[in-house]
Amino acid sequence: VNFSSFTIHSIVKSFGESGELSVQKGLATSTSTSMNTEPCLGELLSKLGLAEQYENKLTISTVLEINQNDISGHKPESANSLPEAFVKRLITLDTNTRSVHCLSHNVDTDKKNAINPLDLSTAIFLCSDGFLQQDMVLKMSLCQFAVPLLLPNQEQREITMMLWSMREIVQTFSPSIQAFSKMSCEERMVLSDVPLVSFVRLGRTAFSKSELLNRLFSNNQHYHDTFYHRNMECGDVPRKISEGLVEITWYLPCGNKKIDKFTEPVAVANLRGDIKAFDLQFSFLCQTSAAVYVFCDESEADYFKNLEGRDVKADVILISSVQGKTFTLKTVQVKPSFKATNESQRRKNPMELLEPLHKSISKVLESSPNKVSIANMAKTARDFGILVDEDSDECQSAKKNVNKVTRYITDTSVFKATQLPSQGQVWKAISWIENEYWRLRNNKSKNKEDYRESLKTKEKDLRQKQQRFEKSPAMSDFLHGVVTSEVQRYYFLKWLEIDLENVSWDHVSRLQNQYKEICQKFPQDEEKIADIDKQISDVSLCLKHFFRECGQLYECSNSLPEHSRQRKTMENLPALHAQMLLDGFPVELVDGDASNIPIKWITDVLTELHNLMHSSSKVKVIAVIGSENSGKSTLLNSMFGVRFAVSRGRGTRGAFIQLINVHKDIKVELGCDCIMLIDTEGLKPHQMVENDHSHERDKEVASLAVALSDITIVSLAKGNSREEDVLEIVLQAFTRLKDKGEKQCHIVCSNMADLPAAEKRKSNTVLVQQLNKIIQKDVNMKKANITKISEVMKFDPETCCWNIPPLRCGTPPMAPVSGDYSKIVHTLKTRLLGDLRKSKERGDLTQFVKRLERVWKTL
């Protein structure tokens, strides 16, 4: 990168006549990605195969669908295969997402098909519905890519502020005021009041503004290309539809002075294109930013005379260059009177610009700058005639419906007890009775049948008690919110999910940190761990609690007379939740708090799902089991783009399912119409909640997942001293199967760098020996004449052992997703799909339901 010259001028608050500039003309050539202001969106969408999707938007379910490219791993060979490749990579956290391009055998064709990645992403955003946009923005943020703040639509001559799309971005950071106490903030970024620093250009520049910003805001520990720039792959291809795009990212401190570039959080905006052509975006940034830095040539300086008299809230700072040998830094003030001050010395090396920029931004942050949240920026956007993505009727109507539900929440524990009563102590007591009915642990009489009859009577009494709860006002409002149109229902559930997180955030986050710390430092303190776990359970409030209540209301109503009013009002709930499962919302299979499956509810939901799929519901299952906090949910999310809940500290409780459709072209090849993913609770060697037999629940959930699955992933937290305990539970789960030795298993060691081939073979041999040793020590396996791992599961250590590095590369929050992580996870996904293809054909969801009932009864 050649920086010819630099001058920084500060124009504070208002503008007037510029001071004299010391200029010498040079010979350096100014280059910039060329701007195309001609309407050409339709032409580009046709080239990308997205013409129809401009009206009929892409959805999450269509993007997640498994197709031939997922199995074969083919790279795109034509322009119309680029959008799918881009989105598939992004939702699976592939750090090379933006480098997607065509690979044909003809160089000229490659050049002809070349598309600037910013144009590609802009086209995809314009052709996606609000929920896919939101998912893409979340994944971009996780990858530490800049996300769209203002999205231009060249065809309609409209600009949209992407507020809804950014609603899910949550970051944890440590500003200087809290760094000394080692406390961190966890904030939803659209609600976070932080100063915005914006960067724009006037005319052409001899260097890449975006690359300079990457260097300015990358920690010393790790350089990262947050903003795509001209020196990256296809970055020099002329932009056609992304001119006028404003991207945003955040610099967030970790609390370590040796790592942090800035000690306070700051939002960073970057306008693509010349401010002369995009005055509206520039004016918006001048109103919302603490400072706007303008890269320009000194020959363009007269432009700023046009700003005289405008209401400009930001400090506007010029970084001017001259294609010569004289470089001057000037601070210009026009109030109360004109004053120009020389401040800089000559600068010859482009890297020397980073220091004055860093000092300038630090000075802005130290001067109590204007702070504004993105949510509050929306009002300014509307004043400028900029559209806001969440102003649609469906989105706003859904928000009003959510407010009706959340108005009852003052204390989450009280809310659950009063508004969601069916899933409380009564349901837990019913669950205990259902387990006791088969296990007869507390039978003190000699007659088993009499004891069981007494249990049935108690269960009936408890169900009658549940029936007296009826629907609470909050549940009535919830059900009203989900029986609306498909789009409005999706908005309702997403708004509710976000608002519930906001309500219980502080409590849950603090307790999860405590839980994680105690598990690491005092794993033997089971009483304290159990106490914190119970507190987390009490204060947690999320969508699953509303779904649970639906399940209990439905199960209660089923014991009522067939034509009763209460039963009639509940009979559509399974179909409604089946649709939610198709829409990508996880459904709870095993209630982790009650250690039970509401079997009537789950089987009816899955039967309705079969009907929704027009009886084409042959299903194969991939389940993950393993150590607590070993990244099981994250692994499934990264492989398949799904949305299992992920939290720090105490993780998943029970088991959840999600469904992914299979494209019609490969249904025969894969032997199924859909793939079910099962995410399970971590296996723990200690008792989690007092008197709940959680060690048995671990075994039950693991055994259930293994029995239902075609492929089981076993996730181990490397370095865990209780690894052998976890493996023992896993092996026992496999030995409970009738078809022992036939189930495919992959073992994943998380947070472990990949090893050289020789070391990996040695490590795999040690693992096999460890597994065989556990088998030979186990009394029940001895009785079954099982002596080695091959008699328990299909497991080839050469192809079924995986070392997966940490998800992030560096120190959060500025650490991007590790390229090694995404690469290995993608390879694992391809292998799993290949194994599914080889596995025997399964029945449809109605047969899966029968298998579920049979397995759960046995357990």
Q: What is the pLDDT of residue 694?
A: 59
Q: In whole angstroms, what is the distance from residue 24 CA to residue 30 CA?
A: 15
Q: In whole angstroms, what is the distance from residue 8 CA to residue 319 CA?
A: 4
- Work out the pLDDT band at 62, boundaries 50, 70, 90: very high
Which of 688, 816, 682, 691 is CA-nearest to residue 750? 682
Average pLDDT over residues 593-608: 96
Per-residue DSSP letters for 93-126?
T-TTGGG-----S-HHHHHHH---HHHHHHHHHH
pLDDT at 122 over 80: yes
**Contact, 732 vs 724, CB < 8 A?**
no
pLDDT tens per residue across span 548-591: 999 999 999 988 888 888 888 899 999 999 999 999 999 999 99
Q: What is the pLDDT of residue 835?
A: 96
Determine which of 325-334, 469-478, 827-836 has the lowest per-residue pLDDT on average.
325-334
Per-residue DSSP letters for 514-580?
HHHHHHHH-TT-HHHHHHHHHHHHHH---HHHHHHHHHHHHHHHTTS-TT-HHHHHHTTHHHHHHHH
Q: Which residues pair with 596 in a beta bridge?
A: 591
Q: What is the pLDDT of residue 329?
A: 46
- List helix spans (H) across 613-678: 632-640, 667-670
Determine which of 48-62, 212-226, 293-307, 785-799 has the lowest per-residue pLDDT on average.
293-307
Which residues make Cβ contacts (< 8 Å) with residue 165, sequence separation at least 6?
130, 133, 134, 136, 137, 147, 148, 389
Neighbours of 717 (CB within 10 A): 20
Q: What is the pLDDT of residue 156?
A: 87
Determine which of 95-109, 260-274, 483-497, 715-729 has the lowest per-residue pLDDT on average.
95-109
Average pLDDT over residues 62-73: 92
Q: What is the pLDDT of residue 273?
A: 96
Mean of all residue pLDDT scores within the chain? 87
Cα dist. 375→80, 191, 194, 381, 390 in Å? 35, 6, 12, 10, 11
pLDDT at 22 over 70: no
**3-state DSSP call for residue 14?**
coil
Q: In whole angstroms, what is the distance from residue 369 CA to residue 265 CA?
A: 12
Cis before 148 (ω within 30): no
pLDDT tens per residue across span 257-271: 899 999 999 999 999
Q: What is the pLDDT of residue 356?
A: 85
pLDDT at 2 over 50: no
pLDDT at 49 over 90: yes
Q: Which domains does the chain have, with CATH numbers?
A: 7-231+238-391 (no CATH), 618-843 (3.40.50.300)
For residues 95 and 350, which has the higher predicted lDDT (pLDDT)?
Answer: 95
Which of 322, 99, 319 is CA-nearest to residue 213? 319
Neighbours of 9 (CB within 10 A): 26
Q: What is the pLDDT of residue 510?
A: 80
For residues 76 and 674, which has the higher predicted lDDT (pLDDT)?
Answer: 674
For residues 330 and 260, which has the higher predicted lDDT (pLDDT)?
Answer: 260
For residues 512 and 799, which has the higher predicted lDDT (pLDDT)?
Answer: 799
Q: What is the pLDDT of residue 432?
A: 94
Q: What is the pLDDT of residue 790?
A: 92
Task: Provide the percentage of residues in the chain whose pLDDT is more than 70.
Answer: 87
- List helix spans (H) across 143-240: 176-179, 209-217
- Work out the pLDDT band at 316, boundaries 50, 70, 90: confident
Average pLDDT over residues 486-510: 91
Q: In whole angstroms, what is the distance from residue 638 CA to residue 627 CA?
A: 18
- Work out the pLDDT band at 121, boundaries 50, 70, 90: very high
Burial of 759 (0-12, 13-18, 19+ CB in 10 A): exposed
pLDDT at 324 over 80: no
**3-state DSSP call for residue 394?**
helix
- Work out the pLDDT band at 21, boundaries 50, 70, 90: very low
Q: Which residue has the tokens 């099982």?
A: 786
Q: What is the pTM of this model?
A: 0.91
Q: What is the pLDDT of residue 5?
A: 44
Average pLDDT over residues 115-142: 97
Q: What is the pLDDT of residue 346?
A: 56
- Work out the pLDDT band at 31, boundaries 50, 70, 90: very low
Q: What is the pLDDT of residue 331?
A: 54
Q: Which residue has the tokens 């400072």?
A: 291
**Contact, 593 vs 653, CB < 8 A?**
yes
pLDDT tens per residue across span 653-711: 899 999 999 999 999 999 999 999 999 998 876 444 444 455 677 889 999 999 999 99
Neighbours of 627 (CB within 10 A): 27
pLDDT at 546 over 90: yes
Task: Dig out the tokens for 92 from the structure.
Answer: 């699976």
Average pLDDT over residues 323-329: 47
- Work out the pLDDT band at 341, boundaries 50, 70, 90: low
Q: In whole angstroms, what is the distance from residue 801 CA to residue 702 CA?
A: 19
pLDDT at 635 over 60: yes
